Amino acid sequence: MATYDWLFSTLGLKEWCGQNKDSGPLSMADLLAKSKGEDAESQSLWDLPFPSMDALNESCEAFPQSRDLTKGLEQGFLAVKDSLSLVLDPLTQPLSWFLDGSLYVMLNTPWWIVIPVMLAVVFLVSKSWKLVTFVAFSIGLLAFIDYYEYAMQTLAIIFVCAFLCVLIGVPIGIAMARSDWLQRGTIPVLDMLQTLPPFVYLIPLIFLFSVTESKLYGIAIILYAIVPVVRLTDLGIRLVDKEVIEAADAFGMTPRQKLFKVQIPLALPNIMAGVNQTIMMSLAMVVIASLVSAPGLGVLVLRGIRNLELGVGLVSGLGIVLLAVILDRVTKASLARVNSAQKQ
C-alpha cells in the first residue's frame, strides 16, 4: 500500500493504473524496508512523501516515473539531433578551420617570430613601454619553464574565440540597442547563458558535434564569453546622450551615419570594457573546455587535479593567471587610450 492510493481511487483511475504491471527497479529504500520486515503502512506524517512522479508511480503503476521523463527527453533530443546537426554542422565548420588554423600558425611559427610580433601588437594598442616589458618578461618566464607551447595553444584559442565573440556580439548588441523588442527577446537568453553552469551546455554539444573536432570547445567558449560584449554594446549605445543624437538629427545625418559616426564612437569605451570582459571569460572557460579536448594550459591543470601533481597544477594555474593579467592589462591600456582620445 502506498501513500497516494486514495488519490487514484477517488479519481476513479484504478483501472487505468493496473493496465501495465511494469514496476521499475527496486530502490534502496524498498530493500531496507524489506530487510527490516517493515510495512509501508507504519508510515508517519513525518515521512509523507511529496506527491512526486515516483511517489505517484508507487500507487499507480501506469503513472510515469521521473526516469521516464529523463528518458523521454533523451529520446526526443536524439530524434531531433540528426536534423539539428545537419544544419549546425556546416554552419559552425568555419570555427573548426579558424581554431585549427590559428593553433597551427601559433605552434609552427618559431618563437623568435611569434614573441616579437606579439610585443609589437601590444605596443601598437597600448603605446606603453612598461607594459611591453611586462609582457616580454611574462612570456619569457613561461617559455623558460617550458610552458611556451601550452601557453600559445591557450592564447591561440582565446584569440579566435574572443575575435568571433566581438564579430558576432557587437552587431547583436547594436541591433538590441535599436530595437526594444529585440532587446526584450535577447536579454533572457543572455541571462540564461550567463547563469547556466558551463557543464550543462557541454552535454548537448557533445551529442551534437563530433567530440574530436575543435569547434566543440570553440562553441562552448563562445557561448559563455559572448554575453558581456553584447550587453555592454547595447548599454553603450543606449547611453549616448539624447542631445548628441538630436544634434546629429539636426545636421540631417542618415541613421547609418549616426550609427558609425556618433553612436559607436561614443559607445566605444563601453564596448571595449565588454571586449575586456569577454576575453577574461574565455580564459576562464579554457580550463573547462579542456574537458572536451581543448589543448593548452587547461590540460595541465586537469592533469594536476587528476594525478594530484601539485607542482604541475600550481605552475599551470599560475601560467593562466599570467596570461589573464597580460590580456587584461593590454585591453585596459587600449581602453584608456580610447577614453583619453575622446576627452580631447
Partner 1 sequence: MRKLTYSAILCALTIPSVASADCGEVSITEMNWASNTVVTSVAKFIMEQGYGCDVTVVPSDTVPAVTSVAENGEPDIVTELWKNSAGEAYERLEAAGKIKPLTKVLRPGGIEGWWIPTYLAEKHPELTTIEGIMANPELVGGRFNNCPDGWGCRVANDNLVRALDLEASGIDVFNHGSGETLASSMASAVQKQEPWFGYYWGPTVPLGKFDMTRVKLGEYKAEVHAKNQSPDADNPKVSEFPAATVLTTVTPDFEDREPEVAEMLAQLSFETETMSSLLAWMDANNATAEEAAVYYLSNYGDEWSSWLNDDARKRLSRLLGN
* Long-range CB contacts (within 8 A, 24+) of 87-94: 88/208, 88/209, 89/209, 92/209, 92/215, 92/218, 92/219, 93/215
The correct pick among 303, 317, 328, 336 for binding partner 1 (CB under 8 A) is: 303
User: In the 3-class helix/strand/coil scheme, how is the chain assigned residue by residue?
Assistant: CCCCHHHHHHCCCHHHHCCCCCCCCCCHHHHHHHHHCCCHHHCCHHHCCCCCHHHHHHHCCCCCCHHHHHHHHHHHHHHHHHHHHHHHHHHHHHHHHHHHHHHHHHHHCCHHHHHHHHHHHHHHHHCCHHHHHHHHHHHHHHHHCCCHHHHHHHHHHHHHHHHHHHHHHHHHHHHHHHCHHHHHHHHHHHHHHHHCCHHHHHHHHHHHCCCCCCHHHHHHHHHHHHHHHHHHHHHHHHCCCHHHHHHHHHCCCCHHHHHHHHHHHHHHHHHHHHHHHHHHHHHHHHHHHHHHCCCCHHHHHHHHHHHCCHHHHHHHHHHHHHHHHHHHHHHHHHHHHHHHHHHC
If the CB atoms of residues 276 and 316 are measured against partner 1, the closer one turns out to be 316
Q: Does 302 bind partner 1 (CB under 8 A)?
A: yes
Measured from the CB of residue 181, what is the shortest distance to partner 1 in angstroms?
39
Measured from the CB of residue 33, what is the shortest distance to partner 1 in angstroms?
10
Measured from the CB of residue 93, what is the shortest distance to partner 1 in angstroms?
17
If the CB atoms of residues 178 and 303 are measured against partner 1, the closer one turns out to be 303
Measuring CA to CA, which residue among 335, 322, 273 is closest to residue 135?
322
Applying CB under 8 A, the site for partner 1 has a residue count of 42
Measured from the CB of residue 106, what is the shortest distance to partner 1 in angstroms?
18
Stretch touching partner 1 by CB under 8 A, among 128-136, 161-169, 297-305, 321-329: 297-305
If the CB atoms of residues 199 and 251 are measured against partner 1, the closer one turns out to be 199
Measured from the CB of residue 144, what is the shortest distance to partner 1 in angstroms?
21
The footprint of partner 1 on residues 143-202 (CB under 8 A) is: none
The footprint of partner 1 on residues 112-151 (CB under 8 A) is: none
If the CB atoms of residues 264 and 302 are measured against partner 1, the closer one turns out to be 302
If the CB atoms of residues 119 and 284 are measured against partner 1, the closer one turns out to be 284
If the CB atoms of residues 24 and 140 are measured against partner 1, the closer one turns out to be 24
How far is it, in rounded angstroms, from Cα 160 to Cα 164?
6
The footprint of partner 1 on residues 15-74 (CB under 8 A) is: 24-28, 30-32, 34-37, 42, 44-46, 48, 67-68, 71
The footprint of partner 1 on residues 307-326 (CB under 8 A) is: 307-309
If the CB atoms of residues 1 and 124 are measured against partner 1, the closer one turns out to be 1
Measured from the CB of residue 294, what is the shortest distance to partner 1 in angstroms?
7
Measured from the CB of residue 182, what is the shortest distance to partner 1 in angstroms?
35
If the CB atoms of residues 258 and 303 are measured against partner 1, the closer one turns out to be 303
Contact 301, 316 (CB under 8 A): yes
How far is it, in rounded angstroms, from Cα 315 to Cα 293?
20
The footprint of partner 1 on residues 216-235 (CB under 8 A) is: 217
The footprint of partner 1 on residues 264-293 (CB under 8 A) is: 289-293
If the CB atoms of residues 189 and 196 are measured against partner 1, the closer one turns out to be 196
Interface residue list for partner 1 (CB under 8 A): 24-28, 30-32, 34-37, 42, 44-46, 48, 67-68, 71, 206-207, 210-212, 217, 289-294, 299-300, 302-309
